[in-house]
Amino acid sequence: MPPAPITIQTTFQSPITTVWHAWTDAATMLQWFGSDPDGQGLSAEADAQPGKGFRVSFRDSSGMEHTCFGTYLTITPPHELSFTWCWQNEPGVTSQVVVRLQQSGTDTLMHFEHNGVGTASAHNYLAGWTSTFEKLRGVVER
């Protein structure tokens, strides 16, 4: 049986357009991608259109560099995007992410789902995404 999807629901005290921008703008992605709170973004590219892709490289506090990349599958601004997820250091391991955003008053509700992570990946996705979303919070709630 495949592993259950990783799901995270959280609320940001920020407009939906700000959260959407953080997910789809390369310069903004560079500020929050990577689970290490003391990590640093190195480079980012994103062309948020179906069939186009993204690539983000970052360094964690131990000095280790990581690169994630994928292809956008669906884009419905500012409510939903889905994309493949791959790590450069794990060739052949591909999973899928779906992000759904909903405005709630002045806040944004985010439903995040990461499917098909499998057992071939060395990453603890739940802990990683949870930490990463705290960095995202710091960017969108300024």
In order, the DSSP letters of 45-85 are EE--STT-EEEEEEE-TTS-EEEEEEEEEEEETTTEEEEEE
Domain count, the chain: 1
Domain annotation covers residue 27: yes
**CATH code, domain carrying 48:** 3.30.530.20
Run means of pLDDT, 10 residues per run, the chain, 142 residues: 86 98 98 95 97 97 96 98 94 94 97 86 84 97 92
Q: pLDDT at position 92, please?
A: 87
Q: pLDDT at position 3, please?
A: 74
User: For the chain, how many residues are written?
Assistant: 142
Nearby residues of 40 by Cβ (< 8 Å), 6 or more positions away: 34, 58, 59
Q: pLDDT at position 2, please?
A: 65
Domain annotation covers residue 64: yes
Domain annotation covers residue 78: yes
Domain annotation covers residue 42: yes
HSE of 75, CA atoms in CB hemisphere, 13 A: 14
Write out the residue range of the structural domain in which residue 34 sits: 6-140
Dig out the tokens for 90 from the structure: 């794990």
Domain annotation covers residue 26: yes
Q: Is 90 helix (H, G, I), strand (E, B) or coil?
A: coil
CA angle 32, 109, 56 (to 5 degrees): 20
Domain annotation covers residue 19: yes
Q: pLDDT at position 142, please?
A: 86
Torsion angle of the four alpha carbons 81, 43, 61, 63, in this order, in degrees rounded to the nearest 10: 130
Global pTM exceeds 0.75: yes
Q: pLDDT at position 120, please?
A: 65
Domain annotation covers residue 86: yes
Domain annotation covers residue 1: no
Strand ranges, E, within 77-121:
80-87, 94-104, 107-115
